[in-house]
């Protein structure tokens, strides 16, 4: 299957005060289009950093990241923001909805950056909230929703622009078992029914088991080896 994300020999070093802290050490992998990939590993292993690099909210210290045929590490800050708006849908652990906006307005936020008319935006938002089964909660504010509902609004916000990739950082980390299950089922549905490519960071084996593939990071390196996943993907 054609790789959507190609990561080659990526290193990431953070500078904390006068110290260089290496987080990723030569990661190489490929994520095929339509995949549902779970990144696992202990705290500090670099899984969230890798997710951030794929999502274009951070830049590698060295190496190349190609998404959908474009080398994103070479984009300007402004170019990268525009690229994220078109290609990436974010799902966070803490949902990160804007508390002063209701569910409809939160989902509409990414669409305000497009040239869609008000009517078109409404159609898109209603459709996205329908997919996450929250069409009847459109006027509710985050404080009026349960954690699971908030996360579903966040997922609707992530899919409303029909992005190329969905990136999810511990999407079930703040949810109880029932809501976590529903969220994972929703992600599974988005992957199966809508062929969304999903990259999810999790430390929960149960959550990882819902993905098509799982990779493990240890001290900034893939436990499966530099090309392990690429080889699996090629053979898939």
Partner 1 sequence: MKFAKLVIRNLFRKKLRLLFTTALIAFIFFFVSFLLSILYAFDNYSDQGKGYNRLAVQSAISLATALPYAHEVKIRQIPGVADVCKLQWIGAYYKDPRNFFANFAVDHDHMASVFDDYVVDPKEFEAFKADRQGALVGDELMTRFKWKIGDRITLKRQIFPYDPELTIRGVYHHPINKSALYYHMDYHNAAVGEWNVVGTFWLKISDPAKMAAISQQIDAMFKNSEYPTETMTEKEFQKSFMSMMGNIKLLFTSISLCAVLMVVLLAAITMSMSARERVTEIAVLKAIGYEKGLLLTLMLIEFMSVTVLGGLAGSLFAMLVFWKVNMAALTSGFLPSFSVPVEVVVKAAIASAIVGLLSGGLPAMRATRLSVVDGLRRVV
Where along the sequence are the contacts to partner 1 (CB under 8 A)? 52, 55, 57-58, 77-78, 81-82, 84-86, 88, 90, 92, 96, 98-101, 105, 109-110, 112-113, 118, 157
Provide, rounded to whole angstroms, the least separation between the CB of residue 209 and partner 1: 26
Least distance CB 81 / partner 1 (angstroms): 5
b/e string for 207-219 if b means 16 or more Cβ within 10 A?
bbebbebbbbbee
The residue (of 55 and 184) whose beta carbon lies closer to partner 1 is 55
The smaller minimum CB distance to partner 1, of residues 116 and 181, is found at: 116
Half-sphere exposure of 7 (CA within 13 A, CB side): 29
Give the separation between CA 114 and CA 148, rounded to whole angstroms. Answer: 28
> Nearest distance from residue 129's CB to partner 1, in Å?
16
- Smallest gap from Cβ 225 to partner 1, in A, equals 27
Q: Characterize 76-115 residue by residue with b for buried, 16 or more Cβ atoms within 10 angstroms of its Cβ, and e for exposed.
A: eeeebeebbeebbbbbbbebebeeeebbbbbbbebbeeee
For partner 1, give the closer residue by CB, 86 or 226. 86
């Amino acid at each position: 299957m054609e790789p959507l994300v190609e990561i080659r020999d990526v290193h990431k070093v953070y500078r904390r005060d006068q110290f260089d802290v290496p987080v990723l050490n030569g990661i190489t992998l490929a994520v095929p289009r339509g995949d549902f990939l779970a990144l696992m590993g202990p705290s500090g292993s670099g899984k969230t950093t890798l997710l951030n690099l794929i999502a274009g909210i951070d830049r590698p210290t060295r190496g190349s990241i190609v998404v959908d045929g474009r080398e994103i590490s070479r984009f300007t800050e402004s170019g990268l923001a525009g690229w994220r708006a078109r290609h990436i849908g974010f799902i966070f652990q803490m949902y990160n909805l804007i508390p002063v906006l209701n569910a409809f307005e939160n989902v509409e936020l990414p669409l305000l950056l497009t040239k869609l008319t008000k009517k078109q935006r409404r159609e898109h938002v209603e459709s996205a909230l329908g997919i996450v089964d929250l069409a009847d909660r459109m006027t509710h504010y985050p404080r009026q929703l349960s954690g699971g509902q908030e996360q579903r609004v966040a997922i609707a916000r992530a899919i409303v622009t029909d992005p190329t990739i969905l990136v999810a950082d511990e999407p079930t980390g703040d949810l109880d078992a029932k809501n976590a299950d529903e969220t994972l089922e929703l992600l599974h549905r988005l992957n199966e029914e809508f062929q969304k490519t999903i990259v999810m960071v999790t430390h929960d084996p149960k959550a990882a088991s819902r993905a098509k593939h799982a990779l493990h990071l240890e001290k900034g390196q893939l436990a499966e080896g530099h090309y392990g996943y690429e080889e699996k993907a090629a053979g898939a």
